Structure 1
């Protein structure tokens, strides 16, 4: 069990790092803006205050340390996903990991962003209130595919 946890943490950190490198590459080579982790940090900080859904998170009250909260949230979620996949798949898969389970799991996890985080921040279900919802959705799926690669590489290590 401890080996699964350690593997899951490693998988989650590597996968989240891979996603961040993907965002950097998109920024450098395609001009895509970098994620602003302060807004998810603000959203997380407002949760204990009883607010899950905002009309626009940018209009919610600023929270001290929201950028740091956002980064911690980002990596914490990645670690939780890594541990969850390692636990679900077990030691047999960790001994001989294949990409497909990591990919399917990562694509399923997009649902949390589409149906909790994005509407919670006022972006609508699956980014429906953004100027270009389908671009956001495709970018989410691409980022989670990169995340899946990171999970798989982490499991291989």
Structure 2
């Protein structure tokens, strides 16, 4: 997912999500603020970038564990591309229904200037996560 984001930024000039804003959102959750209008207008919090990146990777690990529970141990012996890709695509529901509304972008980025572009970027990111699960499975890296 991060490799695809890096290529998109360097080759295509497409900016990726600023995970500091995710950290800011998480930091404000403790104070009871769930939805921001937008998150960029909310006060920064200490170590928000570290918090956001940590949350990003922990979420990926949790999603990978859920995937392995769902597909069972047979998948690790014969990693199937389609199941990994479908799971990755399904994980886009998390940003569509939780993160984007919390950041002030609305459900499925409907409050952004170009919602369909934002949706496509999210879908691309999460499809690449699914492909990454499959590649990791091929390399035996998902043998929890």
> How far apart are residue 117 of structure 1 and its match?
0.3
Moved over 2 A (4+): none
* Conserved 8 A contact 2:88-2:131: no
> How far apart are residue 34 of structure 1 and its match?
3.2
Spell out, residue by residue over 1:7-26, the C-alpha distance to the aligned partner (whole angstroms, 9 max, x if none).
xxxxxxxxxxxx11111111
5+ residue gaps, structure 1: 1-18
TM-score by length of 2: 0.93
d(CA) in 2 for partners of 1:98, 1:39: 34
> How far apart are residue 86 of structure 1 and its match?
0.7
Spell out, residue by residue over 1:89-126, the C-alpha distance to the aligned partner (whole angstroms, 9 max, x if none).
11111111101111111111101100110000100110
TM-score by length of 1: 0.85
Aligned to 2:103: 121
What are the within-5 Å matches in structure 2 for residues 128-139 of structure 1?
Answer: 128-139=110-121
Q: Give 1 or 2: higher helix fraction.
A: 1
Spell out, residue by residue over 1:45-77, the C-alpha distance to the aligned partner (whole angstroms, 9 max, x if none).
111221211121111121000000010011011
5+ residue gaps, structure 2: 140-144
What are the within-5 Å matches in structure 2 for residues 28-47 of structure 1?
Answer: 28-47=10-29
d(CA) in 2 for partners of 1:129, 1:86: 34
Root mean square deviation, CA, Å = 1.0
User: Does 1 or 2 have the higher relative contact order (CA < 8 Å, sep 6+)?
Assistant: 1
* Conserved 8 A contact 2:88-2:128: no
